[in-house]
């Protein structure tokens, strides 16, 4: 008998009612199973040797004339590989494998005529006259049965336990081949998607870059307002485009917006601290703003990075209130060009006589001016007016005040020089020299990148110069080290508010409240942020909480009244406004008595 054709129709069984062949039930996970099958993209593909080897081995091990790799889709069973047959597929209603996929272990049918599921099957009653069937389900790693590796014979028989186990092992290998195929498809798809994404990113970058190039061109032609507009758009589309900060700073400087230029230079130098030209330009800008000490610090840093970098001749160090140029140049060259020079004695006492700032702030600068230049030298001393080989150090006391103390070793040269930078930065903040303070805190962090005090202090200084992005970044670093500081969350929330990112601000104020439920500042700030987002109900709740802590705050009553008015709760709003008025009335007798 030829076993190369499976008959589905007519001849011997054509007159049999179709209903006599029971229809196989569907698996409980049929939709997910079909989706998994489609991922392999295997149906209706040509024969492949890897799969043909498995059917050959199955037929040899089980000694059957027929072996198949069958995959069951919605309406059929399709043969990826076959031995002893030429038909490519059969109806699913006739498939023995439709029963195999209902279980996790091999299905063995010793005599199909004696099995009610198959006794009236056309493939049993007609060619190829199936009597024996054994199939191991092809189960994916996710547990879906795709089909089976099966063997068929035309006489009733059985398999040994070893043969059944071999059939199961081979079915696992078939799944292994299918998985290799799926992984290759997924990898190919991923590569294509990445290539497409990269191409799209390149295209977007090219478009964004046009704004930067156009800004440069406008700046060269003297159209600084137009250049700033293009640099603004470039930064908006590419927040990491830090090169635009420097160019925008130069344009702002040309227009006389020195404070805006300073903010841009600070932003740029955070990410490119070794750009000597940028430091030099910031030094010149600081000089124009009257921050002579900051200018000196920038040029000192420039010479440390590049010892041969010249100080521009137009820096007028002979101006009133500033040290003599000769003293500064000699001092900078001595320490900047010879950073490893040991036991250099520099008498800078004469520089004090040229200063109009006869206070401790000048002595701070003179005694620690060389900090950025000799931060690693442990043997350099400074000779002051008193003739002693010690340095006058400005330190912070427990009560928050500042005083000068003497130290045999200069601040920048001892083992705790990182803290010295923080102390000097704090002193500069007291003098409202926030840019100089930021420089000191940054230097401290270079020595100790995990110092939370430096991050918090620099964040506060950045906030004061309206570098809210820098402040936010520093508060974030601080909170990574001290995640339970309620006040730090408020500080970062305030920075977010300045950037009009009220959603993140609210989240930070909420964290602060969770850490300290009695922190009134967090409630009032969150209420204001919620009002910005028109969440007036939430704002009212926060104003109410704040007023429980601070019941005499008139501004909070007004704010809550405004929020109530937005919700058309006019009676509640009037009640809040009345409280403000009544509290003002209460103060009248006191004011009258004070005024006589």
More confident residue, 9 or 569: 569
Check: CB of residue 370 under 8 Å from CB of residue 335: yes
208 pLDDT higher than 70: yes
Q: Which of 317, 252, 304, 320 is nearest to 281 (CA)?
A: 252
pLDDT the model gives residue 588: 54
**How many percent of the chain have pLDDT more than 70?**
76
Domain C-terminal end among 126, 159, 192: 159
36 pLDDT higher than 60: yes
d(CA 556, CA 28): 62
C-alpha distances in angstroms, 3 versus 64, 82, 126, 423, 511?
A: 12, 11, 11, 94, 76
Instruction: Give the number of other Cβ atoms within 10 Å of residue 345's Cβ.
Output: 10
d(CA 301, CA 299): 5
pLDDT the model gives residue 259: 87
173 pLDDT higher than 60: yes
**Which residue range forms the structural domain that includes residue 101?**
11-159
d(CA 361, CA 257): 27
Q: How confident is the model at residue 88 (pLDDT cuts 50, 70, 90)?
A: very high
d(CA 73, CA 88): 14
Calculate mean pLDDT across residues 313-329: 40
More confident residue, 275 or 420: 275
Q: How confident is the model at residue 199 (pLDDT cuts 50, 70, 90)?
A: confident
pLDDT the model gives residue 461: 94
DSSP class of residue 9 equals: S
336 pLDDT higher than 90: no
**Would you state the structure tokens that stand for residue 270, as one six-digit string?**
């955070």
Calculate mean pLDDT across residues 329-344: 36
pLDDT the model gives residue 363: 38
Q: Which of 268-282, 385-399, 567-581 is predicted least confidently?
A: 385-399
d(CA 21, CA 16): 9
Query: Does residue 35 sit within a domain?
Result: yes
Q: How confident is the model at residue 579 (pLDDT cuts 50, 70, 90)?
A: confident
**Residue 96 belongs to domain with CATH number:** 3.30.450.40
329 pLDDT higher than 80: no
55 pLDDT higher than 80: yes
Query: Does residue 204 sit within a domain?
Result: no
Query: Does residue 492 sit within a domain?
Result: yes
Total number of domains in the chain = 2
Say whether 77 sits in a helix, a strand or coil: strand
pLDDT in tens, 93-109: 999 999 999 999 999 99
Q: What is the largest CA-CA distance in the chain?
A: 129
Query: Does residue 441 sit within a domain?
Result: no
Domain C-terminal end among 159, 189, 222: 159
Q: Which of 280-284, 459-463, 465-469, 531-535 is predicted least confidently?
A: 280-284
pTM: 0.38
Q: How confident is the model at residue 188 (pLDDT cuts 50, 70, 90)?
A: confident
pLDDT the model gives residue 378: 33
**How many percent of the chain have pLDDT more than 90?**
47
Domain C-terminal end among 159, 192, 224: 159
**Residue 553 belongs to domain with CATH number:** 1.25.40.10
pLDDT the model gives residue 317: 41
Check: CB of residue 74 under 8 Å from CB of residue 101: no
Q: Which of 34-43, 46-55, 235-244, 267-276 is predicted least confidently?
A: 235-244
84 pLDDT higher than 90: yes
pLDDT the model gives residue 546: 93
Which H or E run includes 445? helix 434-447
350 pLDDT higher than 80: no
More confident residue, 550 or 396: 550
Query: Does residue 121 sit within a domain?
Result: yes
More confident residue, 585 or 99: 99
pLDDT the model gives residue 338: 37
Query: Does residue 416 sit within a domain?
Result: no
Query: Does residue 499 sit within a domain?
Result: yes
pLDDT the model gives residue 531: 92
pLDDT in tens, 403-429: 434 333 334 433 357 787 888 888 888
Taking the CA of residue 207 as centre, how many other CA atoms within 13 Å lie in the half-sphere pointing to its CB?
7
d(CA 259, CA 276): 20
128 pLDDT higher than 50: yes
Q: What residue has token string 């000779």?
A: 383
pLDDT the model gives residue 158: 95
């Amino acid at each position: 008998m030829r076993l190369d054709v499976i008959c589905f129709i007519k001849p011997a069984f054509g007159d049999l009612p179709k209903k006599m062949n029971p229809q196989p039930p569907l698996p409980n996970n049929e939709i997910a199973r079909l989706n998994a099958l489609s991922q392999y993209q295997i149906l209706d593909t040509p024969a492949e040797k890897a799969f043909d080897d498995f059917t050959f081995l199955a037929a040899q091990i089980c000694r059957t004339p027929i072996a198949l790799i069958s995959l069951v889709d919605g309406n059929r069973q399709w043969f990826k590989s076959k031995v002893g047959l030429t038909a490519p597929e059969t109806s699913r209603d006739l498939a023995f494998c439709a029963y195999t996929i209902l279980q996790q272990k091999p299905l063995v049918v010793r005599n199909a005529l004696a099995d009610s599921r198959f006794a009236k099957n056309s493939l049993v009653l007609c060619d190829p006259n199936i009597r024996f069937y054994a199939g191991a389900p092809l189960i994916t790693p996710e547990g879906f049965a795709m089909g089976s590796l099966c063997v068929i014979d035309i006489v009733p028989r059985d398999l040994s336990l070893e043969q059944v186990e071999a059939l199961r092992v081979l079915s696992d290998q078939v799944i292994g081949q299918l998985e290799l195929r799926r992984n290759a498809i997924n990898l190919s798809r991923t590569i294509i998607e990445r290539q497409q994404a990269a191409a799209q990113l390149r295209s977007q970058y090219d478009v964004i870059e046009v704004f930067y190039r156009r800004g440069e061109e406008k700046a060269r032609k003297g159209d600084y307002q137009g250049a700033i507009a293009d640099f603004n758009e470039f930064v908006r589309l590419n927040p990491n485009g830090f090169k635009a900060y420097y160019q925008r700073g130069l344009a702002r400087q040309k227009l006389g917006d020195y404070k805006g230029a300073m903010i841009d230079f600070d932003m740029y130098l955070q990410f490119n601290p070794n750009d000597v030209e940028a430091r030099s330009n910031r030094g010149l800008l600081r000089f124009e703003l009257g921050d002579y000490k900051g200018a000196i610090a920038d040029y000192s840093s420039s010479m440390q990075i590049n010892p041969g970098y010249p100080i521009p001749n137009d820096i007028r160090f002979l101006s009133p209130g500033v040290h003599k140029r000769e003293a500064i140049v000699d001092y900078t060259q001595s320490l900047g060009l010879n950073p490893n020079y040991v036991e250099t004695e520099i008498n800078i006492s004469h520089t004090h006589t040229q200063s109009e700032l006869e206070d401790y702030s000048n002595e701070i600068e003179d005694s620690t001016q060389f900090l950025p230049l000799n931060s690693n030298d442990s043997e350099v001393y400074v000779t002051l007016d008193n003739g002693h080989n010690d340095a006058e150090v400005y330190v912070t006391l427990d009560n928050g005040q500042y005083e000068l103390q003497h130290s045999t070793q200069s601040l920048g040269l001892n083992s705790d020089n990182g803290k010295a930078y923080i102390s000097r930065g704090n002193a500069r903040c007291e003098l409202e020299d926030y840019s100089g303070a930021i420089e000191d805190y940054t230097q401290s962090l270079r020595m100790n990148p995990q110092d939370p005090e430096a991050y918090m202090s620099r964040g506060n200084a950045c906030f004061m110069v309206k570098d809210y992005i820098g402040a936010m970044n520093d508060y974030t670093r601080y909170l990574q080290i001290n995640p339970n500081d309620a006040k730090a969350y408020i500080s970062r929330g305030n920075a977010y508010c300045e950037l009009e990112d009220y959603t993140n601000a609210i989240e930070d104020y909420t964290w602060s409240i969770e850490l300290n439920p009695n922190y009134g500042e967090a409630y009032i700030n969150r209420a204001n942020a919620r009002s910005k987002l028109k969440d007036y109900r939430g704002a009212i709740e926060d104003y109410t909480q704040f007023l429980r802590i601070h019941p005499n705050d008139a501004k909070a009553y007004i704010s809550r009244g405004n929020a109530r008015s937005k919700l058309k709760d006019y009676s509640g709003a009037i009640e809040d406004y009345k409280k403000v008025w009544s509290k003002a009335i209460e103060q009248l007798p006191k004011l009258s008595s004070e005024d006589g």
